[in-house]
Amino acid sequence: MKEKIIFFTKAPRPGFGKSRLKNFLSQKERYDLCVQLIEENLSIIKKSGYPYEIYYDGKKEDLDFANGSKKEQRGSGLGEKMYSSIKEELENADKVLLMGSDLQGISVELFQDAFTKLDKKDLIIAPAKDGGYGLIGMKKNWDVFSDIVYSREDVLEKILQKAESLGLEWSLLETLRDIDTLEDLVSVETNTDEIKLLGLGEYNINFLCDNSYVLRINVGSQLHLGEKQIPYEYNALREIQSSGVVPEIYEYKSRGKYLPLPFLTMEYIEGRPLDYDKDLKTAAFLLSQIHRLEPKDSSLIREEEPFQGMFDECSAMFGTYRSWQDREDYVVDFVDRFFNTAKSLGLSEKIKTPTIINTELNNRNFIIGDRNVVIDWEKPIIGEKEQDLAHFLVPTTTNWKTDKILKVHERDEFLKEYEKYNTLDHQKLGKYLVFNCLRGITWCSMAKVEYSSQTKGIINEDTLLKIDHFLSPEFLSFIERNYYEEYYGNIKTK
């Protein structure tokens, strides 16, 4: 009997295809992924020895890299195009298989099994994990395609209902995977279907895999490290493993088989975010253990003049907002005053008590449970513990993911608990509080421009709402009144 495989594909072109990945992958990365899947699946077809025909949608020249006879798909919709392609090939073949091009899990054995089952069945289908199907085969041109709404989770169910209504005998093959989403890429990379999104940050995405470990994908770098961001985080976690209060780190890769982004894997620890009303003593202990480490021979960035470094960073971030045509003048006025206060406190002071610090300590950087840990080491540096503590305490941190702003007595109780385990320079802490408020506000100003111009890959609506709140006249007045004038205006006179 004569057998034929139809390879059904869109002709790849930069800027088109894999639209559900556009927030995570660049135009080139999406294009390269399409080409990679086409080439890999075509190579398996060629290895099988079965004759095949490429049916394409798009421009034929965009498939010049793919060897094989090519025909243009015909029809007004996906179902009609598949129906007409199978009908045409059955004119000269006894059995036909039609498969998609963005599949993972295709094998020579699958083709052999499909053709063999067609000896006794009217219809064979390889289901897809998303509820559709990746391969379909028949000996007669049965119309199981019409009146089906594609790209839905019930596509396979509807196809089988059509087969039943036509009195067809059908059989299912092993399940395949369409690679369309970031979850698909992670699932293929980790070889598990147990994938759960844990957190979507501004620069990282975290998945729980197989309910046992975390895969952390990097899509940007606050430290401007590019592809070196993930190995930087990996090395930081290795350096602080001895603290006993961070997850165990496993490995990192610059890219996966299909996932064209750097990622690392680490221990998953069950728990909840830190509650400022319940867990301040726990946070004080955790941070004290990290800050006790001596950063000998560390590979991390070291800021010799931390206040100058923070001032320059804030200036660069606010420069984005200052030059934005839609800036608010009142924001500029407030922040200029904040800059003047910070500058008056001095910028040239050098680091005196170096340690590894996190610099990004909001409540979701903590896991509280049977085991308490500090997570999310995106921006660790060699700095001073007072900088970390200040970042943890300021409203631009505590109010970021919660509605909490610490009262003075709460802040004092936290510091008192911290000093049970580690020493502290209160004068320096006060200065860092001023600078960290400035850092939080100027980051928001930069992010406001990025969100408004839609240049951010990951869009978090909750983040945008908080940015607008932090840049409101009410919040800026609160910061000026409580963190520049009334409380910290006396730092330079002490």
- Summarize pLDDT for 128-146 with one digit per residue, the tens: 988 889 999 999 999 898 8
Kindly report, residue by residue over 221-235, the tens digit of the pLDDT. 888 898 899 999 999
| Tokens 């088109």 -> residue | 16
Residue 458, token pair as written in the block: 């990951």
Amino acid 163: pLDDT? 87
Amino acid 491: pLDDT? 46
Residue 95, token pair as written in the block: 């059995």
Q: What mean pLDDT value characterizes the chain? A: 92
Kindly report, residue by residue over 164-176, the tens digit of the pLDDT. 998 999 999 999 9
Amino acid 17: pLDDT? 81
* Dihedral sign computed on CA atoms, order 26, 28, 31, 32: negative
Pick the closest to residue 484 from 421, 449, 444, 437 (CA basis).
437
What number is the average pLDDT over the span 276-294?
Answer: 96
Amino acid 493: pLDDT? 39
> In the chain, pLDDT over 90 holds for what percent of residues?
77
Amino acid 486: pLDDT? 52
Amino acid 453: pLDDT? 81
- The full 3-state SS of 202-216, as one line of letters, equals CCEEEEEECCCEEEE
Interatomic CA distance for residues 202 and 220, integer angstroms: 8
Which of the residue ranges 72-86, 163-177, 277-291, 442-456 has the most confident prediction, judged by mean pLDDT?
A: 277-291
- pLDDT category of residue 484 using cuts at 50, 70 and 90: confident
- The full 3-state SS of the chain, as one line of letters, equals CCEEEEEEEECCECCECCHHHCCCCCHHHHHHHHHHHHHHHHHHHHHHCCCEEEEEECCHHHHCCCCCCEEECCCCCHHHHHHHHHHHHCCCCCEEEEEECCEECCCHHHHHHHHHHCCCCCEEEEEECCCCEEEEEECCCCCCCCCCCCCCCCHHHHHHHHHHHCCCCEEECCCEEECCCHHHHHHHHHCCCCEEEEEECCCEEEEEECCCEEEEEECCCCCCCHHHHHHHHHHHHHHCHHHCCCCCEEEEECCCCCCCCCEEEEECCCCECCCCCCCHHHHHHHHHHHHCCCCCCCCCCECCCHHHHHHHHHHHHHHHHHCCCCCCHHHHHHHHHHHHHHHHCCCCCCCCCEEEECCCCCHHHEEECCCCEECCCCCCEEEEHHHHHHHHHCHHHHCCCCCCCCCHHHHHHHHHHHCCCCCCCHHHHHHHHHHHHHHHHHHHHHHHHHHHCCCCCCCCHHHHHHHHHHCCHHHHHHHHHHHHHCCHHHHHHC
Residue 494, pLDDT > 60, answer no
Strands 249-253 and 177-178, bridge-based pairing: unpaired
Please say whether the beta carbons of 374 and 413 come within 8 A: no
- pLDDT category of residue 457 using cuts at 50, 70 and 90: low
What number is the average pLDDT over the span 203-207?
Answer: 92
Interatomic CA distance for residues 238 and 243, integer angstroms: 10
Residue 40, pLDDT > 50, answer yes
- pLDDT category of residue 483 using cuts at 50, 70 and 90: confident
> In the chain, pLDDT over 70 holds for what percent of residues?
97
Amino acid 485: pLDDT? 66
- pLDDT category of residue 343 using cuts at 50, 70 and 90: very high
Interatomic CA distance for residues 240 and 233, integer angstroms: 11
Note the maximum CA span of the chain: 95
What number is the average pLDDT over the span 336-350?
Answer: 94
Residue 459, pLDDT > 70, answer no
Amino acid 198: pLDDT? 92
Interatomic CA distance for residues 357 and 361, integer angstroms: 9
Amino acid 304: pLDDT? 92
Amino acid 458: pLDDT? 54
Interatomic CA distance for residues 425 and 419, integer angstroms: 10
Residue 295, pLDDT > 90, answer no
Residue 237, token pair as written in the block: 């976690």
N-term to C-term CA, the chain = 94
Interatomic CA distance for residues 466 and 474, integer angstroms: 13
Kindly report, residue by residue over 297-317, the tens digit of the pLDDT. 889 999 899 999 999 999 999
How far are the Cα atoms of 122, 134, 149, 412, 429 from residue 113, in angstroms, in the given order?
Answer: 14, 15, 28, 71, 70
Pick the closest to residue 79 from 133, 17, 39 (CA basis).
133
Amino acid 238: pLDDT? 95
Residue 119, pLDDT > 80, answer yes
Pick the closest to residue 209 from 155, 288, 157, 268 (CA basis).
268
Kindly report, residue by residue over 49-69, the tens digit of the pLDDT. 999 999 999 999 999 999 999
Amino acid 492: pLDDT? 44
What number is the average pLDDT over the span 105-116?
Answer: 95
pTM, to two decimals: 0.83
What number is the average pLDDT over the span 407-432?
Answer: 95
Amino acid 201: pLDDT? 78
What number is the average pLDDT over the span 359-388?
Answer: 95
What number is the average pLDDT over the span 156-169?
Answer: 90
What number is the average pLDDT over the span 72-94?
Answer: 93
Strands 70-72 and 52-57, bridge-based pairing: parallel
